[in-house]
Amino acid sequence: MAGKLTEQPSAGAGTEADLHYVVQAGASRKQTRTQLRTAIMSGWQAFIGTFLVSASQADARAAIGTIIGTDVQAYDADLQALAGVSTSGLMARTGSGTAAARTLTGTANKVTVTNGDGVSGNPTLSLPDALTLVTPTVTGLMDLPGGQIKFPSTQVPSADANTLDDYEKGTWTMGITFATPGDLVVVYSSQSGRYTKIGRAHMYEGTVTTTTFTYTTATGTLRVSGLPFAPASGVPAVTLARWTGIVSAVATPQIVALVNTTNVMLEVMNVSAGTTASLTQANAASGVQKSIFLSGQYATA
């Protein structure tokens, strides 16, 4: 009798009808298993038959659904090399059939790299605020809208004639003195001066006015003191000057100012005679208030 023992009704509880259902169910399952085996064998036989009668490797691969370039990747030495890399980072082909993981790195004070191996996200390159360049070359227009160029407070001189190595601007305190001040007493109501230094070129301007200007022993040339930079030796200065409280005996004077160390020495030229004379204490009387206005330029050392 078909069926399993476990499918039989419990002793004393079943009927003839129950036994009939059990036998029928077992027979039905047996028939289903037989049909399934038949279908599977038929499919495999058809597949194996097709595979065995393949005329080429390409036909055989097509039979099993592995067409190179469509279903599977053809063997490639470079891909094999990449598959062999176990280090995290950016993949790089280092040669025929070789590969390695690389990491972007920066250079101190030149380029800063964040996440150089790309593991946590895209690598980021940036320039540090403290940027150090060695003999950089810039071509084209350099546009600095709202920007600035800063030079060091102490000049770093360059021997290259085409290199700008210094720029400075500021103020200076203009004063009046003599070559030998003696007991000169000066009280100022105003002292102002401004300058701009570009390379070796020094441009300056200033005004000074006194409320007290007295002496008894002062002698020598009248001088304006306080220039911030020493001039180059033997290089003449170009200065325009105007004054009050100073008298020149020259009938047709031309004002001349010479820079010596950090002083400006005022001279007058007799245009008609072609001679010059320095202004001294004889031209700047004690007790007379003085005002001097200067503007000029000279070359620094």
Residue 6, SS3 per DSSP: helix
So what's the pLDDT on residue 272?
63
* Per-residue model confidence (pLDDT) at position 18: 54
pTM above 0.85, yes or no: no
Amino acid letter, 215:
Y
Tens-binned pLDDT, residue by residue, of the chain (301 aa): 444 444 444 444 555 555 455 555 555 555 676 777 676 666 666 666 666 666 677 777 776 767 776 777 778 888 888 888 898 988 899 999 899 999 999 888 889 999 999 999 999 999 888 888 888 888 888 888 888 888 998 889 889 888 899 999 999 999 999 989 999 999 999 999 999 999 989 999 999 999 999 999 999 888 888 888 888 876 666 677 788 888 877 766 666 667 777 777 776 666 666 677 778 898 899 999 999 888 888 888 7
Q: What is the pLDDT of residue 100?
A: 92
* pLDDT score for 300: 84
Question: What's the confidence (pLDDT) of residue 134?
Answer: 82
pLDDT at residue 227, rounded to an integer: 85
Alpha carbon distance 179, 217 (integer Å): 12
- Give the pLDDT confidence score for residue 229 in this predicted structure: 86
Residues in the chain: 301
> What confidence score (pLDDT) does residue 53 get?
64
Could you report how far apart the first and last alpha carbons of the chain are, in Å? 126
Q: How far apart are CA 28 and CA 222, in angstroms?
A: 135
Q: pLDDT tens digit string along 116-163?
A: 999 999 999 998 888 888 888 888 888 888 888 889 988 898 898 888
**54 Cβ contact partners less than 8 Å away, ≥ 6 residues apart:** 60, 62, 63
Report how far residue 49's alpha carbon sits from residue 213's, in angstroms, rounded to the nearest whole number. 126
The three-state secondary structure class of 186 is: strand
- Phi/psi at 270 (5° precision): -80, 100
DSSP state of 201: E
Which pLDDT score is estimated for 3?
Answer: 45
User: What six digits make up the tokens of 135?
Assistant: 């003999």
At residue 27, the pLDDT reads 55
